[in-house]
A = this chain, B = another copy of it.
Amino acid sequence: MNKFSKNQLQRYPVYLKYFKELLDKGVVEISSPKIANELGYSEEQIRKDLQAISDEPGRPKRGRDVSRLIENLESFLGYRDCSNAILIGAGHLGAALLNYTKFAEMGLEIVAAFDSDPSKIGQIVGGKTIYPIGEFEERFAKFDAKIAIICVPAAFAQDVADMVIRAGCQGIWNFAPGHLNAPLNVVVENVNLASSFAVLSHRLGNVK
């Protein structure tokens, strides 16, 4: 299960998007050096990444079949199945995610949202109803969801995480800043804007 590093897993959607663009342009074969030149990864890294998910070997002089790579990547990434998720915290960021139309392509469907703000309850955002957070545990089981997307302010994130874990969530996609404590059998993936900006800022030489 931990055969793939986090950095490696993060590269696969980038490959997939690039290969789809190639196919749209009528390119049917691609070699590692060309990919390296375009995406800025090393040739060795690319060969290793693609070998790990491909069902046929690369051909040294001709490269790999683009359609086949797309199939292999979509299958590997689980894009042909779909995971249901519920979202908690329908503020600005939560609403942006509810309105995002590309999640289906990534095998993710947000089926409902929850919020504590009475003025939001009952609203429909991006086609999803916002329910009161107090009804979470009762409603959760009906949604066949195993992923919770947490978009609440940082101060409430741990309480919300504890609640969704109690309700049986197996995966948390956390957009609140900071660390969440969770049992080892719950997968937590953080989208931390402060962490991402720290990399940009440091590389810009903005730091003392």
A interface residues (Cβ-Cβ under 8 A, vs B)? 1, 4, 6, 9-14, 16-18, 21, 38-40, 75-78, 81, 83, 92-93, 95-96, 99-100, 102-103, 106-108, 146-147, 154, 170-171, 173, 177-179, 181, 187, 189, 191-208
Residues of B within 8 A of A99 (CB): 92
Contact B76 A207 (CB under 8 A): yes
Contact A197 B108 (CB under 8 A): yes
Residues of B within 8 A of A197 (CB): 13, 103, 106, 108, 173, 189
20 A-B Cβ contacts within 8 A? A1-B205, A4-B202, A10-B199, A14-B178, A14-B192, A16-B194, A76-B207, A77-B207, A78-B202, A92-B95, A93-B96, A102-B177, A103-B197, A106-B194, A106-B197, A187-B203, A189-B199, A189-B200, A191-B191, A191-B193
Residues of B within 8 A of A76 (CB): 207-208
Contact A196 B179 (CB under 8 A): no
The residue in chain B whose Cβ has the minimal distance to the Cβ of A188 is: B200
Residues of B within 8 A of A102 (CB): 177, 194
CA–CA, A194 and B13, complex, Å: 6
**Most B C-beta atoms less than 10 A away, residue of A21, A154, A181, A187:** A187
Distance in angstroms from A145 CB to nearest chain B CB is 12
The residue in chain B whose Cβ has the minimal distance to the Cβ of A195 is: B10
Contact A10 B198 (CB under 8 A): yes
